[in-house]
Structure 1
Amino acid sequence: MAKKPVPFDAHWDLEGVDVVANWRYPLILPYITQSPSFIAVTKKHRGLKVPRAELPKDEKLVFEVAKKFGLLNVEYGFDDFFNIKWWNTTGKHLYGTKHAIPDIEQKLVKAGQTQTVKVTSEESPTIVLQIPTNLTATEAISRIRQIFYINRELFNVEFGTPLPAKYDSEYKLEPSKLRKDTVIKGASAIAMYREGMPLWKIGNQLKISPDHLIKDSDLDMDQDKLAEHKRVLSIMALRLVKTALLIAENAARGRFPLDKPFPQAKLKSYKRPAGRPIGSRRPKRISVTEFKSF
């Protein structure tokens, strides 16, 4: 089962670069390095023979991204340690800004104390709040919503305004409707598929369909029911692998996380031969060709 990634971030006051914490950052490398386009381009860079058909038409773009990300001369397939090291040396500088991003600040004022709060609002107006601790979190949040509404409607204060261009980073996470579960499990699905793991086992290990999970004790179940479970798991796993490959191909071009199809994407590099796995003696009950290839 794919483990949940620990969000990566960076703090301007400590590192000279600011990145808001996000769970997607730890998945950038696993996706880029499993992209068929990335693998072909970096192999060619290392002097290995690569068939022309495996190289993408936008080879130059993939090469430039690999170069900027510092991945030209290293093997793909990284562990967590390498991923963290890459983020600290390279990633945070690509996705971060050299200016401190405006954020909420707080100061606890004890009963009977008097405190002076210094507000620096270089980029936009700032609302200063006083929140007594006798309020519950729910009550406080409700009051804050009312404050937002009053300032927006009566004083024309705009919330969510974009930051100035000086805050732009070289790369940004793409707006995406992909489910978190899909993005997390997708990287693992590609790795398993590349290793030749049967699709139903990929679906089973990643628990893609809880209603069709197969335990070791279930292998003796009715063969028709077992075949149906494997069929459903195979269909869902292949769907996940296809989506993950598109995410990987987009990532190799600096677009993450995005599953948008595009002509240059290499989606057939991991194509498997049709037919049943070698050594299977069970009579063929369903057509598995469509589940084993692109």
Structure 2
Amino acid sequence: MATKRPRQAWHLSGTDFTQPRLYARQDWRFLLFFQFLRISPSYALALDCEREQELAERLGSADRARKVWRTRCDMGDVFTVLFKDWWQARGLSLFGIHTAKPRVVGIRRLRPNEDADERRKRVGAAYRRFVEGRYREQGNPDSVLISVPLGMKPALMVRQLKQLLAAVQAEHPPELPVAAYALEENKLREARLLACLRLIYKRSARPDEELWRAAARAKISETHVVDPLAKKKDAKSAEARRMLTIMASRLSRDALMIAENAAAGKFPSMEVVAHAQPFDFPTLGQRLKVMSAWEKKRKKELAQSAAPKVEAEH
């Protein structure tokens, strides 16, 4: 049986998604949003600018600069911080809902032998306490009052609850709370987003390398597999090299759009971005190299500080 790897100090845990009067759902896309900001040409440009006007002049669009500058001010410098630290300091507040986390609760139990007048009095008091307390703390979420007869069989109870909730939400779709930044709901999958990141990292590490070699290193295809060190004139791999070049070219364009949308606070999205900045792979490679070295050093420090102390032998 494989042993479970211990959680490292820089890994998020479930508790990192909830604070008093603040919560967010757990979603793998938060980390990828952070990673795509690191490869965005517009975001790097914004970090190098001191004012929004300077960014507008360099981007050639005041509207584009306004969106990117807002993201830059909110998200900060993603090159000098680990994701967990960034999430705790900025991410949760930006992507989270600033209320107590909603929960299903019972307001009051109705007993069959209660006096009718006394029941109305106590139910009214319990309802007021709930509305003025927990309900308000949760940001007044769209809710429904339901009567659950406790003598029912659990399976039947659950089935009827599901049917009732489905009917209520179909008739009146719930009004959901809105965070400062919201993830886009679309068909972009984790595997494709990760392939985009791997390809851009490989191209940045070797800017002068042929595209198919970068694609081979990034392993963007399970069908077309080529040794990245293979000779260019190898006839056996000619078709695979051609297909990898085509696939890498498309994937690079997708990566650019995703990164440039992220710079404007929209993720994940491949919407065409006007005034998008092209990848400058040599410059990006140097920036990522410095960042990676710092990140490796920081993780080593955290690992050492978290390691159990061994008492010296006397």
TM-score range, shorter chain: 0.5 to 0.7
Identity %, equivalent residues: 26
Partner of 1:225: 236
- Give the Å deviation of 1:144: 4.7
State yes or no: 1:259 paired with 2:277. Answer: no
SS of structure 2 residue aligned to 1:211 = coil
Partner of 1:19: 24
Residues matched between the structures, number: 231
CA 1:225–1:170 in structure 2 vs 1: closer, same or farther (change >3 Å)? same
State yes or no: 1:125 paired with 2:125. Answer: no
Match of 2:189 among 159, 168, 179: 179
Cα displacement string for residues 150-186 of structure 1 (whole angstroms, at most 9, x for unaligned residues): x268xx422693345xx32111111222122112222
State yes or no: 1:206 paired with 2:210. Answer: no
- Give the Å deviation of 1:103: 4.7
CA 1:206–1:271 in structure 2 vs 1: closer, same or farther (change >3 Å)? closer
- Give the Å deviation of 1:207: 2.5
State yes or no: 1:68 paired with 2:78. Answer: no
- Give the Å deviation of 1:50: 9.2
- Contact persistence 2:212–2:248 (CA under 8 A): yes
Partner of 2:100: 100
- Counterpart residue type for residue 205 of structure 1: R
- Counterpart residue type for residue 148 of structure 1: K
Q: Aligned runs of 1:239-258 on 2, under 5 Å?
A: 239-258=250-269
188-197 vs 24-33, which moves further:
188-197
CA 1:68–1:235 in structure 2 vs 1: closer, same or farther (change >3 Å)? same
State yes or no: 1:37 paired with 2:42. Answer: yes
Q: 1:7 & 1:241 partners in 2: Cα distance?
A: 29
Gaps of 5+ in 1: 1-5, 106-117, 273-294
Q: 1:8 & 1:240 partners in 2: Cα distance?
A: 31
Q: 1:126 & 1:89 partners in 2: Cα distance?
A: 37
- Contact persistence 1:193–1:241 (CA under 8 A): no
Match of 1:55 among 49, 53, 59: 59
Q: 2:232 & 2:48 partners in 1: Cα distance?
A: 46
CA 1:77–1:202 in structure 2 vs 1: closer, same or farther (change >3 Å)? farther
Bigger-Rg structure (1/2):
2
TM-score (structure 1 length as normaliser): 0.64
Partner of 2:297: none
- Counterpart residue type for residue 162 of structure 1: P
- Contact persistence 1:30–1:77 (CA under 8 A): no
Q: 1:214 & 1:104 partners in 2: Cα distance?
A: 54
- Counterpart residue type for residue 169 of structure 1: A
SS of structure 1 residue aligned to 2:254 = helix
User: How well do the aligned residues superpose, as a CA RMSD in angstroms?
Assistant: 4.0
Cα displacement string for residues 81-138 of structure 1 (whole angstroms, at most 9, x for unaligned residues): 6111101101110000111343568xxxxxxxxxxxx9969431266698x9xx9xxx
CA 1:257–1:92 in structure 2 vs 1: closer, same or farther (change >3 Å)? same
CA 1:222–1:91 in structure 2 vs 1: closer, same or farther (change >3 Å)? same
- Contact persistence 1:18–1:97 (CA under 8 A): yes
